[in-house]
Amino acid sequence: MDKKECIRRAEQVLMHTYGRYQVVLDHGEGVYLYDTDGKKYLDFSAGIAVFALGYGDEKYNEAVKAQVDKLLHTSNYYYNEPTTFAAEKLVKASGLDRVFFTNSGTEAVEGAIKLARKYYYKKHGVADSQIIAMEHSFHGRSMGALSVTGTTKYRTAFEPLIGGAVFASFNDFESIKEKVNEKTAAIIMETVQGEGGIYPADREFLQKVRALCDEKGILLILDEIQCGMGRTGTMYAFQQYGVKPDIMTTAKALGCGVPVGAFVATDEVAAAFEPGDHGTTYGGNPFVTNAVSVVFDRFEELNLTAHVKEVGAYLYEKLGAFAQKHSDKIVAHRGIGLMQGLEFKEPVKEIINRAMEKNLILIAAGANIIRFIPPLVIEKEHVDEMLAILEKSI
């Protein structure tokens, strides 16, 4: 189909909830995407941090195809092998104990909130609890996830949201401490803020929050939906901080393209849920969990976390030099592993548009920040290729 015709027909039938670029993507190969005109793009967005393995990983594709012919779905009233295997691997990777598979990251956050509230209810015998979330955070677009998303523009039109959420300043321990009271059930934060501008948690800050939670009997929920699954150089970003959450959410690269997320908890916290407290029709079906299982296998076979540390350090060095060279336009460079950002003095939309014209796919984090979240299999040569295009685009 002609590109313009495809866009015209899409605009007639799809809700206008995305500011889509005028590109019709057709297929991918490695770290490149191709549109219906045959134009080749270097992809530094990875489907918003989803395609960790890149496009066309043979072992992943074979496993997904094989499961289609075997068993796509059965309800959670029964056991199946792929879900068991995937849960075992997720438990091993996270260091936590119990898994609930969802269809998305947003649903993982919803489940984490419910689990925290149920744990508080069982502990205190009352349901009037509070959750402390972070300003400038992003946890999803459902009503529950929006309630703990600390960015006004996502929330205003949909209020009133679910109650009991208050907001503190990220990386400001005193801001959190002053909001804690006897109703505080949990503190939720991204280990590395994504949509909020690529802000990693400070080590001392996160360790103090963990200690405060231990002291007050509060649950720590870490959202690793974007920063998890190897993106920062460890399977989960919190593993670089010397802390462990009580509940963690994960998605995006967990399935490398199939719609799956999960929340994972310690045995003690997970025991708060009883049959009937939470559920899902599609979540954790054998199709998606078979994909999850092979993703963990491929991470191990490719030694991806070590690769991310190496290429991430190279990207950090090159972006740092780039930011210094263009200090008249760029005010900050930050990030970790293959989750980094450049903050510009002006909105970056036109830079991203020009980069796309020159065969490079980038995305923003807020109006003024370009985020770099490529497939984890990129090489140093792809970093160089990206920077050459970015140089021409700014």
Instruction: Give residue-wise pLDDT tens across range 340-375.
Output: 999 999 999 999 999 999 999 999 998 999 999 999
Q: Give me the domains of the chain, ranges plus CATH numbers.
A: 3-57+303-393 (3.90.1150.10), 71-301 (3.40.640.10)
Q: Is the peptide bond before 374 cis (omega within 30 degrees of 0)?
A: no
Of 66, 63, 43, the residue nearest 55 (C-alpha): 43
Instruction: Give residue-wise pLDDT tens across range 9-40.
Output: 999 999 999 989 999 999 999 999 999 999 99
* Residue 139, pLDDT score: 96
Q: Which helix (H) or strand (E) segment is 10 a member of? A: helix 3-13
Instruction: Give residue-wise pLDDT tens across range 107-141.
Output: 999 999 999 999 999 999 999 999 999 999 999 99
Of 243, 197, 253, the residue nearest 221 (C-alpha): 243
Instruction: Give residue-wise pLDDT tens across range 264-317.
Output: 999 999 999 999 999 999 999 999 999 999 999 999 999 999 999 999 999 999
Cα-based angle 67, 278, 17 (whole degrees, multiple of 5): 70
Q: Quick one: average pLDDT of 179-194?
A: 97
Q: Quick one: average pLDDT of 236-248?
A: 98
Burial 267-288 (b: 16+ CB within 10 A, else e): eebbebbeeeebeeebbbbbbb
Contact 203, 168 (CB under 8 A): no
What band does 339 get if pLDDT is binned at 50, 70 and 90? very high
Rg, the chain, Cα only? 21
Cα-based angle 180, 184, 185 (whole degrees, multiple of 5): 145
Residue 181 burial (10 A CB sphere; 0-12, 13-18, 19+): exposed
Q: Is residue 82 pLDDT above 90, yes or no?
A: yes
